[in-house]
Structure 1
Amino acid sequence: MHAVILAGGKGVRLRPYTTRLPKPLVPIGDEFSILDIVLAQLSQHGFERATLAIGYLGDLIRSYVGDGSRWGMSIDYATEDSPLGTIGPVLQILDTLPDNFLVMNGDVLTDLDYSSMLKQHVGGNAPLTVATYQRQVKIDFGVLTTQNGRVVEFTEKPTLNYRVSMGVYGLSKATLREYQPGTPLGFDELVLDLLASGNPPAEFDFGGYWLDIGRPDDYDRANAEFDDIRGTLLKGA
């Protein structure tokens, strides 16, 4: 099994933590970086190979990770010289990948079973499988519905429920064959293209632990919770 880890972003929303460190290398707890945890999990789930798509401060990631032997994996690299979106870096290395593979953001903390997700993707013959999570958003205002200048409905501080993408995907090589390597391609564009073609993505419904380390508040929460969730994230480590 092969995973492509997207680790080339500048982590602008996480500044100042990412001023001198790429986001995947910011520390979680006293011993690990985010990327440490991700690679350990992939190894535990049977992934033997990974490609790191690097860009911003990529030499630091390459120096830190090396050939992947520390995690019992074989790791290579794809350099992103200019921003290519979520899926664009995958197009550049498509010929080196197996027919089905995992793609994931390098800043995700979760106890998702990556192996089970990829197996479901392969067995379902879907062009793309998206790991999804139920997220609640509290609206701190009274919400009005209006029509023809009149208020027709009112809800005080509602809680909205959404299914969101976790930043982890099962992908098939055939799905990306029509796209030109070297051109930007976002996850949103790919999903919209698949919907328009009548070939919708599949869902991997997940209800465990998930935190996207995108903002300082998320990062602070991850560190505050890490002692409690370490056993869940790093079984046996």
Structure 2
Amino acid sequence: MIGLVLAAGAGRRLRPYTDTLPKALVPIDAETTVLDLTLANYAEVGITEVAIVVGYAAETVASRVKGFEERYGVHLELVHNDKAETWNNAYSLWCARDLLTNGVMLANGDTVHPASVQHTLLDARGDGRQIVLALDTVKKLADEEMKVIWSESAGIERITKLMDPASATGEYIGVTLIEPTAAADLTDALRVTWERDPHLYYEDGYQVLVDKGFRIDVAPIGTVDWVEIDNHDDLDRAREIVCPS
């Protein structure tokens, strides 16, 4: 199994940081970025082969590859998304389709979370599970979150931001375990998704799979401090998590 990080987006709501940096390299403190935290998480659970999908300001990630490899004991491969500034992340994940046959631990490049999330997903392997999503079932939900409806009998039934928060089982936090057996089906679903609308999310690809009868499971992460960094308020929250007073 390899690690996979989606770090191609421009993150315009985090300007001026993202005038020259992708969101994954926005500083949380003087020495730490989201990418640092994600690579450290992978290393902690024994994942040392990592691919990073890059696009916007890709050269800034490339310039740090050697330092990341030395700091975290990982080997990095960069996958280029040539449409990162105009298309959404369904296409970003599709760009890494050839790697899915290795089995991947996928993490969004803007999600700050502890390594316990990776441990939880790895512990959920087996019993025929092919795709497992890290799910926060504790947080109070609002309109912006990527919400999930899940049942024991069917697995995930719906995943979308466009859902009444009261009907949701929880929030998908942007970390997924994908087994090699799911590679072909997921690749096809992602292609269908971005061909239908290049502005869709890879989670819309998950919904395509669900609609075809493919079971997707979840692993509740418990009470965990985490945040998806979309704006400056989120960045402040990330700094509180990483550098508590």
TM-score bracket for this pair, using the shorter chain length = 0.7 to 0.9
Is the 8 Å Cα contact of residues 229 and 235 (structure 2) preserved in structure 1? Answer: yes
- Looking at structure 1, the residues matched to 182 and 56 of structure 2 have their Cα atoms a distance apart, in angstroms, of 28
- Looking at structure 1, the residues matched to 243 and 23 of structure 2 have their Cα atoms a distance apart, in angstroms, of 20
Q: 1:130 to 1:137 in 2, by over 3 A?
A: closer
Match of 2:91 in 1: 88
From 227, 231, 239, the equivalent of 1:215 is 231
Q: 1:182 to 1:165 in 2, by over 3 A?
A: closer
Q: 2:81 is aligned with what amino acid?
A: E
The number of residues matched between the two structures is 209
Match of 1:145 in 2: none
- Looking at structure 2, the residues matched to 100 and 9 of structure 1 have their Cα atoms a distance apart, in angstroms, of 23
Match of 1:65 in 2: 65
Match of 2:80 in 1: 79
Is the 8 Å Cα contact of residues 122 and 177 (structure 2) preserved in structure 1? Answer: yes
Is the 8 Å Cα contact of residues 14 and 215 (structure 1) preserved in structure 2? Answer: yes
- Looking at structure 2, the residues matched to 173 and 87 of structure 1 have their Cα atoms a distance apart, in angstroms, of 18
Shift of 1:93: 3.6
Q: 1:175 to 1:60 in 2, by over 3 A?
A: same
Q: 1:124 to 1:160 in 2, by over 3 A?
A: same
Shift of 1:115: 3.8
Match of 1:151 in 2: none
Match of 2:133 in 1: 130
After superposition, the C-alpha distances for 1:67-122 in whole angstroms (9 at most, x for unaligned) are 7232101110100001454343343343344442111101111113314413423x
Matched, 1:172 2:179: yes
Unpaired runs of at least 5, structure 1: 140-158, 230-237
Structure with the largest fraction of helix: 2
Q: 1:115 to 1:47 in 2, by over 3 A?
A: farther
Unpaired runs of at least 5, structure 2: 144-164, 195-199
**% of aligned pairs identical?**
25
Match of 1:6 in 2: 6
SS at match of 1:95: helix
Per the normalisation by structure 1, the TM-score is 0.77
After superposition, the C-alpha distances for 1:38-64 in whole angstroms (9 at most, x for unaligned) are 111211111111000000001101111
Q: 1:77 to 1:227 in 2, by over 3 A?
A: same
Q: 1:99 to 1:33 in 2, by over 3 A?
A: closer
Match of 1:235 in 2: none
Q: 1:18 is aligned with what amino acid?
A: T
Match of 2:110 in 1: 107
Is the 8 Å Cα contact of residues 131 and 179 (structure 2) preserved in structure 1? Answer: yes
- Between structure 1 and structure 2, the one with the greater Rg is 1
